[in-house]
A and B are shown apart, each in its own frame.
Chain A
């Protein structure tokens, strides 16, 4: 009887409690790192939101719409390299070209839609995104020469308190904007000026969606690590209880065996 009890102890709750404590420590420290990154991301998001809203104002106030027979689509998905929350892309039919910002998008869609990728950007998210990063992305997109009828950028907009919502903002090609009726309201616009304006605005929109997505990502990480750490606590409590019960039974057995002797 004694031997059986001894075997149970070494492989049992005690060792498991140890390993779960280690996991809990890791989860707690990862949570702290994510919390620090989240605080910074949220702080930088505040001005970026005003800036991004300003950049999107023209599309909204001038009610610019894409052409009716939309043939060529451009979908830009904004995420990070190691994304816990990934903006869901559903490229449906037609001629759709994808641009992934953040390795995660490419990873997820690679198996099914590899041939549709125009370009993919990695090294996104380790450091907070800057306007320079957005400019680089915008320049690559513009230099690719891909002419599309209708485009959209899909990202995760951050919402308080610590949640996010996948959203889509339209991206219009230069042609669409130039030929839009509502644009005639705007006085005396040189074609060159309009092109410059649009190129700058593309960088602005990418910058804004990057900032939103980063904040969403870091907040998701904080939540996940927090849950992991709490789950670990729960498991430790349960196992400690089991260990206590076994220890009591052992003591009874031993005292019982001693009494028999």
Chain B
């Protein structure tokens, strides 16, 4: 398994536009009321949800995509590039693309979704994603040694996920 730290992709960086900061005060990670989920979703530079009560969250992990509802069994997972869909209590849903990260579901129904990089889909450009995918595939074909192959493989997977998310 590759160290997650390798999952920083130059390709994704070029696609991401300036992220705006969301100001929130810090408190210890919130616990949830009975039957409720306390959902925290953040990247190092931006907070999307902080202790919010949402109905369901779909996350892409290394072992497959799964949906998290309140009272989900506690688990630790590592994310792979893909779509996170947050279903709010009122039925609306928002999609985010994440590069990598981790998700923790605790016994008290609190969920911490930490993404290395996360953006809403309107920040991404399908044309650029397709171009990056081709470049990544070329890089994989020309990779000389194991580390180079691994990096190229990651680039390809990330860009494939990006293209799939935007189509």
- Which 5 pairs between the two chains have the least Cβ-Cβ distance? A49-B26, A57-B29, A54-B112, A131-B44, A192-B1
Give complex CA distance A142, B25 in Å.
Answer: 31
Interface residues of A in 149-187 (CB under 8 A from B): 185-187
CB distance from A217 to the nearest CB of B (A): 18
Say yes or no for B126: interface residue by CB 8 A criterion. no
Partner-A contacts on B (CB < 8 A):
1, 3-5, 8, 21-29, 40, 42-47, 50, 62-63, 73-78, 100-102, 104-108, 110, 112-114, 116
* Known contacts A44-B21, A51-B42, A196-B62: A57-B106 contact under CB 8 Å: yes
Q: Which chain A positions have C-beta within 8 A of B43?
A: 47, 51
Nearest neighbor of B43 in chain A, beta-carbon distance? A51
Q: Which chain B positions have C-beta within 8 A of A188?
A: 75
Q: Which chain B positions have C-beta within 8 A of A1?
A: none
CB distance from A121 to the nearest CB of B (A): 15
Q: Which label, helix, strand, loop or mixed, suits the secondary structure of the A interface?
A: helix
CB distance from A111 to the nearest CB of B (A): 33
Nearest neighbor of A160 in chain B, beta-carbon distance? B25
Which of A80-88, A93-101, A201-209, A247-255 touches B? A201-209
Asked if A58 and B76 make an inter-chain contact with CB atoms under 8 angstroms apart, the answer reads yes
Give complex CA distance A197, B104 in Å.
Answer: 10
* Known contacts A51-B114, A199-B5, A201-B102: A193-B44 contact under CB 8 Å: no
